[in-house]
């Protein structure tokens, strides 16, 4: 009996419509940011009273704002801040999450228990408040946004990955590897870390999306990028005063943010399905929905900065 | 139960202490000279020295921290450096906008999420329920600011139904106009949080529909709907209760942005302008009050959940 080889995770990701959509959007974002480094339709900071509120034209693709700045250029240039914040948040939160998870999950008792309490407290500390606190102490800027988002989501990732690590550490094959004489570190590297990789990747993808929302909110409040740096959140703040007269202007930055966040959310969903070997590519609609709900708890947790899933998951029977 | 209460109260107290220490360290310890920051670059050395004495910044750090902590416990937080009014009074006054706004948006989120989530799971394959799921995912990706701006354009500029910004000067003495000015802000955060809660309710209901005790109930002759209402929804309700603390926290934080957007005189707007005024002592207290409320809500929800869930009680009896 011949069976076709199961498609690779990458193949499954590209084949799913959600995965393809998100990869296309993220590729667009990245190329916009890269292209903007060498070329832009116009200087995003050039303002002139003679060209205020111009309608879209071949010269100004999306028109101009109240200061006469080219909206398309500002939008494209704004993608740089987004990419910077997303990458920064991913590195910081990934590192914090992984270290916290390993120490609080597998460390000696005197490290583990205080860390678990620390995670519980830090997770109740909303990311937005953390950012405001840092901005109050050190002044506003992109580093503050990256630090706040990285710490906030890092703790949330750490909590989820820790639970997964603890569960894996009790599995028979891990115990067998220990019994066979592998060192703690070798077990961690060869069995545990690859085992939590899918959960970690999915959480990372979700937190990258939420990082964009956090950046937009913080830039809107004035704690993000400085005024000379175009960013999507700041564009929302700049257009606010004129929305009753020029409502169309507010459309573009909002659309850009929503599309990018959506791409990361869907990438998370698609990754979960593509990476989890237990799912084998086939799953019922119920399973898929329940799955997205389970991480969704964490997604909400990331927003609120609070524990992800409720103490007992939905519909758990004891 | 009493043991659970004791442990929960202790972790809450520990959480409050850790949170206060983090806030104190971030705002008093790390930035260097707090008096210099509050005074700004224009202040003379004499002014800064006076400020330092007035705020007690020349005393040992531990004494400053303990003073603040006990002051917070008894409601004495000192005076604002900028306005001169007691900080506790200002926080209490601004909470009169933020608390109703949070409750209002929580009600909206629940009204949207619970019926649609249960229906979406019950009729999983219906086209409308698939559409709802797509809308839910999209709405969860929308930035709060943008949603609010679109709301202002549609409901106040075009339709003229609701005020675009502001809060009545007389406050809650004119309740109708106060509620009117909170409606659009509450809709903004309520609908976005509702979209997130919707996915949660739907997956919880799907889980309940697939549970074995529901199948047993149906095997005994109940219809799928009867089984869901009688045996599935209580569990779903409990899951929702366990999420309430989290939801309230998300809404409270959402209020910070939305108050700015709609020019509402609440805690979030006060916090943002205090940061701008470098009123670090007040920022410290406001942050602690907000985090404290979130920690206390989390503990209350845990206790409520424990009281309501018979499964947890049984487990305890067996202990």
* Contact A235/B at CB under 8 A: no
Question: What mean pLDDT do residues B307-318 have?
Answer: 69
Q: Which percentage of chain B shows pLDDT scores above 90?
A: 14
Question: What mean pLDDT do residues A73-92 have?
Answer: 89
> Distance, in angstroms, between B179 CA and closest chain A CA?
22
Question: What mean pLDDT do residues B36-53 have?
Answer: 77
Residue A13 has which token pair?
Answer: 């990701």
Question: What confidence score (pLDDT) does residue B185 get?
Answer: 92
From CA A64, how far away is CA A50, in angstroms rounded? 11
Question: What mean pLDDT do residues A294-300 have?
Answer: 35
Higher pLDDT, B50 or A209: A209
Give me the residue label for tokens 């700049």: A238
**Torsion angle defined by CA atoms of residues A43, A49, A53 and A54, in that order, rounded to the nearest 10 degrees:** -70
* Residue A1 clears pLDDT 70, i.e. is over it: no
Interface touch A136/B280, C-beta < 8 Å: yes
Most confident of A284-298, B154-168, B288-302: B288-302
* Residue A284 clears pLDDT 60, i.e. is over it: no
Interface touch B133/A124, C-beta < 8 Å: no
Higher pLDDT, A68 or B239: B239
* Residue B317 clears pLDDT 60, i.e. is over it: no
* Residue A73 clears pLDDT 60, i.e. is over it: yes
B2-38 pLDDT, tens digit each: 888 898 898 889 889 988 998 988 887 766 677 777 7
Question: What confidence score (pLDDT) does residue A118 get?
Answer: 86
Question: What confidence score (pLDDT) does residue A287 get?
Answer: 37
Question: What confidence score (pLDDT) does residue B103 get?
Answer: 92
Per-residue three-class SS string for chain A: CCCCCCCCHHHHHHHCHHHHHHHHHHHHHHHHHHHHHHCCCCCCCCCCHHHCCCCCCCCCCCCECCCCCEHHHHHHHHHHHHHHHHHHHHHHHHHHHHHHHHHHHHCCHHHHHHHHHHHHHHHCCCHHHHHHHHHHHHCCCHHHHHHHHHHHHHHHHHHHHHHHHHHHHCCHHHHHHHHCCCCHHHHHHHHHHHHHHHHHHHHHHHHHHHHHHHHHHHHHHCCCCCCCCCCHHHHHHHHHCCCCCCHHHHHHHHHHHHHHHHHHHHHHHHHHHHHCCCCCCCCCHHHHHHHHHHHHHHHHHHHHCCCCCCCCCCCCCC
Question: What mean pLDDT do residues B224-236 have?
Answer: 83
Most confident of B44-53, B100-109, B201-210: B100-109
* Residue A310 clears pLDDT 80, i.e. is over it: no
B65-99 pLDDT, tens digit each: 888 888 888 878 877 877 778 888 889 888 889 99
**pLDDT interval class at A177 (50, 70, 90):** confident
Interface touch A243/B305, C-beta < 8 Å: no
Question: What mean pLDDT do residues A203-208 have?
Answer: 89
- Can you tell me the ipTM of this complex? 0.85
Nearest to A258 among B143, B164, B280 (CB): B143
**pLDDT interval class at A303 (50, 70, 90):** very low
Chain A, residues 252-271, CB within 8 A of chain B, namely: 253-254, 257-259, 261-262, 265-266
Global pTM value: 0.83
Interface touch B250/A221, C-beta < 8 Å: no
Question: What mean pLDDT do residues B224-244 have?
Answer: 84
Question: What confidence score (pLDDT) does residue A101 get?
Answer: 93
B211 vs A contacts (CB less than 8 Å): 315, 317
Which of B19, B159, B200, B227 to mutate to test binding with chain A, by most A CBs within 10 Å of its CB?
A: B200
Question: What mean pLDDT do residues B295-305 have?
Answer: 88
A112-158 pLDDT, tens digit each: 888 888 888 888 788 888 988 888 888 888 888 999 999 999 999 99
B274 vs A contacts (CB less than 8 Å): 136
Q: Which percentage of chain A shows pLDDT scores above 90?
A: 14
Which of A214, A215, A232, A300 to mutate to test binding with chain B, by most B CBs within 10 Å of its CB?
A: A300
A83-99 pLDDT, tens digit each: 999 999 999 999 999 99
Question: What confidence score (pLDDT) does residue A112 get?
Answer: 87
A129 vs B contacts (CB less than 8 Å): 253, 256, 287, 290-291
* Contact A116/B at CB under 8 A: no
Question: What mean pLDDT do residues A212-222 have?
Answer: 89
Interface touch B239/A310, C-beta < 8 Å: yes
From CA B266, how far away is CA B255, in angstroms rounded? 8
Question: What confidence score (pLDDT) does residue A304 get?
Answer: 35
> Distance, in angstroms, between B144 CA and closest chain A CA?
7
Residue B86 φ then ψ, to 5°: -60, 135
CB environment A240-258: b (16+ within 10 A), e (fewer): beebeeebebbbbbbebbb
Question: What mean pLDDT do residues A218-226 have?
Answer: 86
Count Cβ atoms within 10 A of the Cβ of residue A178 and give its class: 0-12 exposed, 13-18 middle, 19 or more buried: middle
Higher pLDDT, B159 or A285: B159
* Contact A102/B at CB under 8 A: no
B244-291 pLDDT, tens digit each: 887 888 888 888 889 988 888 989 899 998 888 888 888 989 999 999
């Amino acid at each position: 009996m011949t069976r076709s080889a199961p498609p690779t995770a990458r193949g499954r990701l590209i084949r799913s419509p959600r995965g393809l959509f998100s990869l296309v959007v993220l590729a667009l974002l990245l190329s916009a940011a890269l292209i903007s480094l060498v070329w832009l339709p116009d200087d995003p900071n050039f303002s002139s009273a003679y060209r205020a509120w111009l309608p879209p034209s071949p010269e100004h693709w999306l028109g101009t704002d109240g200061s006469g700045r080219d909206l398309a250029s500002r939008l494209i240039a704004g993608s740089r801040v987004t990419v910077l914040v997303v990458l920064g948040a991913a590195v910081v939160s990934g590192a914090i999450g992984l270290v916290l998870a390993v120490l609080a999950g597998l460390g000696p008792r005197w490290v583990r228990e205080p860390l678990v309490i620390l995670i519980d407290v830090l997770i109740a500390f909303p990311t937005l408040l953390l950012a405001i606190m840092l901005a109050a102490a050190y002044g506003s800027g992109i580093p503050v946004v990256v630090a706040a988002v990285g710490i906030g989501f890092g703790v949330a990732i750490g909590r989820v990955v820790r639970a997964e690590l603890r569960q894996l550490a009790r599995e028979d094959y891990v115990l067998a590897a220990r019994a066979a004489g592998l060192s703690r570190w070798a077990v961690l590297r060869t069995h545990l870390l690859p085992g939590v990789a899918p959960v970690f990747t999915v959480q990372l993808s979700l937190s990258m999306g939420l990082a964009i929302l956090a950046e937009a909110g913080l830039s809107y409040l004035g704690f993000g990028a400085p005024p000379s740096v175009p960013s999507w959140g700041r564009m929302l703040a700049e257009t606010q005063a004129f929305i009753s007269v020029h409502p169309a202007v507010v459309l573009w930055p909002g659309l850009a943010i929503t599309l990018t966040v959506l791409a990361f959310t869907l990438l998370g969903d698609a990754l979960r399905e593509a990476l989890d070997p237990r799912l084998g590519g086939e799953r019922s609609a119920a399973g898929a929905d329940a799955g997205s709900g389970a991480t969704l708890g964490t997604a909400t947790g990331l927003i609120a900065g609070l524990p992800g899933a409720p103490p007992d998951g939905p519909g758990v029977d004891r | 139960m009493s043991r659970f209460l004791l442990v929960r109260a202790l972790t809450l107290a520990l959480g409050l202490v850790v949170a206060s220490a983090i806030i104190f360290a971030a705002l008093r310890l790390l930035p260097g000279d707090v008096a210099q920051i509050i005074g700004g670059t224009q202040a003379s050395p004499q002014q800064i020295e006076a400020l330092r004495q007035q705020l007690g910044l020349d005393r040992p750090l531990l004494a400053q921290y303990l003073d603040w902590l006990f002051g917070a416990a008894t409601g004495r937080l000192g005076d604002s450096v900028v306005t001169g009014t007691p900080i506790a009074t200002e926080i209490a006054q601004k909470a009169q906008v933020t608390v109703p706004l949070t409750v209002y948006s929580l009600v909206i989120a629940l009204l949207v999420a619970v019926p649609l989530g249960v229906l979406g799971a019950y009729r999983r394959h219906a086209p409308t329920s698939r559409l709802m799921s797509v809308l839910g995912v999209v709405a969860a990706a929308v930035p709060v600011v943008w949603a609010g701006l679109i709301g202002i354009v549609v409901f106040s500029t075009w339709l003229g139904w609701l005020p675009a910004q502001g809060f009545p000067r007389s406050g809650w003495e004119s309740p109708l106009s106060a509620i009117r000015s909170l409606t659009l802000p509450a809709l903004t955060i309520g609908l976005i949080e509702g979209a997130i809660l919707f996915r949660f309710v739907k997956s919880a209901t799907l889980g309940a529909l697939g549970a074995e005790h529901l199948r047993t109930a149906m095997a005994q002759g109940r219809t799928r709907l009867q089984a869901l209402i009688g045996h599935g929804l209580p569990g779903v309700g409990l899951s929702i209760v366990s999420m309430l603390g989290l939801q309230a926290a998300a809404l409270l934080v959402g209020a910070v942005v939305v108050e700015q957007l709609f020019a509402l005189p609440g805690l979030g707007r006060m916090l943002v302008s205090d940061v701008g005024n470098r009123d670090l002592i007040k920022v410290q207290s406001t942050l602690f009050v907000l985090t404290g409320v979130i920690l206390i809500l989390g503990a209350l929800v845990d206790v409520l959940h424990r009281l309501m869930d018979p499964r947890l009680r049984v487990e305890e009896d067996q202990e």
